[in-house]
Chain A
């Protein structure tokens, strides 16, 4: 009978209960939706950083990491890339030539990283080919093709088919360079990447560097993040002399974001629940003060302290869980809808892309978070009930019945 009694008691003051239930529902709905957006931002940042540039793993000559001289090669990079590519947990592996240089147009110049690639291999490794706004991915008949970012094209005031001159230091330490023609312009989630990275064919870059088909890096993309974390030893055995750098080492801020995302979300939701708990405590205190006489009567006729405490706690829990259930349901509907429609933040596009965040967000929340949040609400409700319930227990029946 206590459960129905608690339920009926909650609806004695419909407006007050509706207000607190609505507050909890809205608080949780907003909190969960914000969490879903944050998680999507984090996931997008990690994903775009990995797929546009750094990959999951980079294999380099240790000397190259200290001194970026072009003669610090990965020996047999093409063979190693093919061998790694054949592993089941690897999605793609490709060798890269890396050299820093100056990109010049008739108007201005800018420092860039020139990446020499084998296009058909690199295509599987990065999302650049699918991020092209104009042109194509090294499909033109002419020599010295280059794919550059939209930001660099804008900065140098260049269009598709324009010529761009790269100057850099070759393997002999001599300044060299050549003119390339833009065959494709890409745009990723990061303006910084789009401004500073260009792709050319490895064979053409190797000729200019006088290194031939020798590479400074092998980049590896795994099928999953988990596979990336667990395959290091296996890869290291293939290249014992080389240095392995995981995406977590290459982008520690993203690693922190990825690993702490759930914790931060739970703290965020915990703060929301802490705020809501004051509302719950206030509501239940009003309930106890209003029903002073009734609680006095209940104790007079023989309701024990434990049962009275349980009744107040039960009312608090039902009130809170009702709000939470509605809030989580609304959040689920909202997040599911936004996951399909997306949230278009085009107005904030330039600012977001500086941080590697895409214009359109697709919020999503792991389903495991819902029961976890339900548990947090339950704990919050029980803790919030303690003070009002203790106030009820402090009543002395004779006084409660006499004073009103």
Chain B
């Protein structure tokens, strides 16, 4: 079953005198349980595509449906609420709340969802266990390494029980060991929980671990194939 559908997506930025076409006529579907990489050189439109798929930006043309909901038809307020309950995000620069501990960062999303304290604590602990950080739960981001921060970000992304997780260059700021560790965790959670992971990258290690690879070039899909390992 299709979790995400991108239909004729086009994005043109009109911020400068010359309009910049970031995406052109993108069509694809992501189904349950996928672990998919969107690859391509810098400027190929990877981040723009992820932002549109995640409802952070709107396409100039075309539409995105997530679980059958057309994101174009949602108001800004509804879109924020939709993201809260349906989409998890992992950012390149971790983007944790610096004054909160790892545990509080994970629980924060559930707080926004108005989940009970009991549920927040239980699920927060489960997720920190899953990313191997239960012993670092009470540390603040500044006290964690880059790899640990990104693992907290993955736990946070999953805290809301999303339909899918969008990860924008998740390993770009990590060393080889930390990146490999993170990918293993993401892959395990994908298999264990069935949560869709969709990430942009030009990191060969990530591409190698993905089961499907969509290649973008100049805003268009150059190739879309299953990864045979």
Contacts and interface: CB of A to CB of B under 8 A. Distances in A.
Contacts of A304: 77, 80-81, 112
Contacts of A299: 80
Contacts of A307: 112
A323 interface: no
B109 A302 contact: yes
A238 to B, nearest CB: 72
Contacts of B156: 301
Contact of A5 (B47, B80, B88, B97): B97
Given A297-B91, A398-B51, A302 B85 contact: yes
B20 interface: no
Nearest to B160: A302
Contact of B80 (A1, A293, A303): A303
B99 A5 contact: yes
B56 interface: yes
B150 to A, nearest CB: 14
Given A1-B104, A305-B80, A300 B112 contact: no
Interface string B85-112: 1001101010101111000100111011
Contacts of A9: 99
Interface in B45-78: 47, 51, 54, 56-57, 76-77
A304 B112 CA distance: 9
A229 interface: no
B209 interface: no
B84 interface: yes
A360 B160 CA distance: 68
B56 A397 contact: yes
A5 B89 CA distance: 21
B136 interface: no
A164 B96 CA distance: 90
B89 A300 contact: yes
Interface of A: 1, 5, 8-9, 11-12, 293-294, 297-305, 307, 396-398, 401-402
10 contacts: A5-B99, A12-B99, A294-B95, A297-B89, A301-B83, A301-B84, A301-B89, A302-B113, A303-B80, A304-B80
Nearest 10 pairs between A and B by C-beta? Answer: A302-B84, A8-B99, A398-B57, A398-B56, A297-B95, A398-B51, A397-B56, A302-B83, A1-B111, A304-B80
